[in-house]
Chain A
Amino acid sequence: MSTRNIFARPARLAAIAPYLWMALFFLVPFIFVVKISLSHTAIAQPPYTPVFDLTAGVGAIKAAFAALSTDNFRLLVSDDLYVLSYLRSLVVAVVSTSILLLIGYPVAYGMARLPARWQSVAMMLVIVPFWTSFLIRIYAWINILQHDGLLNRILLALHLVAAPVVWLSTDSAMYLGIVYSYLPFMILPLYATLSKIDPALLEAASDLGSSPRRAFWLVTFPLSLPGVGAGVLLCFIPIVGEFVIPDLLAGSDSLMIGQTLWLEFFTNRDWPVASAAAVILLLVLLAPLLLYDRLQRRQLEGGR
């Protein structure tokens, strides 16, 4: 009994730590954002009303509460600009995540089948780009893709095109940038699950009459699904809110929600609308997260 008590207390404290962290650095700021999203824009410091002043007495706080409204959310739903931004963000995220999966899976699969000492080399190669600043790498792509950039010069030299092709400020450039930037986040979780699959399982499948291709679909693929889920979420969620890559590489005719949010916040100085857009974005992203959580929980329960 006494030994249990000794160990129980620090263990419980350790369990509280992540919740404390989440409350302090996620929940509290999020409440601020929700509050601002229910406010009205104003030419003031801070640029919205009402402002809660806890020293002003109960009546003033009640009045402040009464002044909150859902006008911003109504605006977001009614104005095409915002709805289209959300839709474009989702489309871009779905398309890029699909491309990432199609490229990342074979790469991770190949890595997992390399001899052990080459696996760590391959892993290094996947991680190495992180040693350079993300922005610098995107600017490097701008350099490569621009009118007289490396790509066009190569294409011209090989006589594959007659005149320089416009790459920059197109969706292709944006997808290229996104896929390039997020590929490690797809490869690493996939590699982690694929390399854990016991090769004897494939031998068993083949012993029981499966060709290598069927063994892949019947054994390897189902067992790699947790990695697929992790990789997809790890890419999909940040891509929906992506701002830098579309801003630097895509054209300006259609915006992703991250860009719209930036515009509202910095250019229009409309903090309440920007906050409302952020709250909706969070709600949109909650759906896949909950879905993944449920799948994982089912897997845990199935495995118990």
Chain B
Amino acid sequence: MATAEASPKMKKVQVRRYKPDENAETNYLNVESGIWSWLSTKDHKRIGIMYLISLAIFFMAGGILALGIRIELWTPAATFIEADTYNQLFTLHGAIMIFLFLVPSVPTVLGNFFLPMQIGAKDVAFPRLNLASYYLYAAGATLMLWAIISGGVDTGWTFYTPYSTSTGGAVTWMVMGIFVIGFSSILTGLNFIVTIHKMRAPGITWSKLSLFCWSLYATSIIQILATPVLAITLALVAMERILGIGIFDPALGGDPVLFQHFFWFYSHPAVYIMIVPGFGIVSEIVTTFSKKTIFGYWAIAMSSLAIAFIGFLVWGHHMFVSGQASLASMVFSFLSFMVGIPTGIKMFNWLATMYKGSISLKTPMLYILSFFFLFTVGGLTGIALATIAIDVHLHDTYYVVAHFHFVMVGGMVTAFLAGMHYWWPKMSGKMYNEMLGKISCLFVFVGFNVTFLPQFVMGAQGMPRRYFNYIDQFQSFHQVSTIGAMILGVGFLMVFYNLIHSIYKGKKAPPNPWGSRGLEWQVASPAPPHNFEHTPVIVHGPYDYHKPMADFQLGLAETNGHDPAYGAEIEADKKLKIEDQ
């Protein structure tokens, strides 16, 4: 029995050490069985897995569309499809990847699974709402699929008016699908904010909250505030198509550029919805595999919030050549640079965390290193694009395509894959094959660079995006890019194979294979049905690698269930004494 000695004014709290069970028999996967037990589950972990399966399917669909695009671009004229089919391909690739994969990815899969565990809770604040979010996502996805089947969409994922209000196809169904998915996103954000505020275990003060949770907190704020604007905008597009209300149609006195303002007011912050949770994953992994306390905890936590806040004020940098006022462009350019600063601060903090660490190059860490490079390139080309004059020439060329793929795939997807490998043992209870993991990481890294580095060059040379035909001088760049896309595709398939294979053939995962101090690692693998059988008590920060592991395995000795009254006492107690008996 260990005792935490509180300062004289405080009540003493009895804690004891709960070592994770190496051979737990029940876990969240086998506690119930049958399809219905999944479809009706309110367990945040199972909901996370349902999201994971859905997202994996859509990621694969979006990836196949991307390969279709790249193969078509092998020759300057038609290669195997017509222009109209090509236009649908890139529209669907964008819409599926953004709305069905990137926006939900980290929050709904890894966030759902690990946010409650990292704060020592048994579930999110509103488990039923969480399940409802999943079904809204599924309903929205179904509407989008219906749009694809019933006529297709050729507007580009940006739905610019008046093209989107005048073209044929099933644009109305598509925007309705996205409208519904938006609510899923809003409700997830709401759930996370309440969970972080109200469900933290005793001792988890704001300064001991994991940086992954901080990043999800910042993301949730954006989801709640920005997504409604997208919903309204898309509803207006639908009304314009059905009723001809004339908000955006110049023939009826509307303004097509207004749509762009509305759209980017959501879609720029949405970029941060996608990338900020990735930052959270990086912070978790870089500390674990450097075995070192995070450098600049507050700088990283607050920079997430700063990015979330300033991110709302930069939408106009998508519109430097749209005809908006020069003064507006100037302000948007300035604020865009200001987003770059907190992002840069994060990079330097992560590097400083590695300094004098004990760095282990396991697969998750390899992905993080590749994230560092790719995200640096993506971020710095973003700085170039924030410079108004430079953007004029590069706007809507392949340079922009390469830039956002570096941020979204090189940054976000790489971080997601890092997180998937890192947390896989806790999710599946199995270890993936380390060697294959490293090889697939290499394929993804090489394939990605071969695909997108040439696109910077051809963009700067003037190759516009969304082009079915192109002039001959760009062919060699396009061909290299297509080869790269194939390598990248092989890399993703290897990742997929490795993870699936491990479920059947992988070694059993120990509770804490990486020696992490994170709370989610202090329970059995796969996670127990209710995460913690005890109420965890936290006395150190989540990255205090200089403190013994035993200190991170404490729980209330007597009471069960959460009683916030204890939180304050443990928090004030700086002199924890562990007396193992």
* A joins B in a complex: no
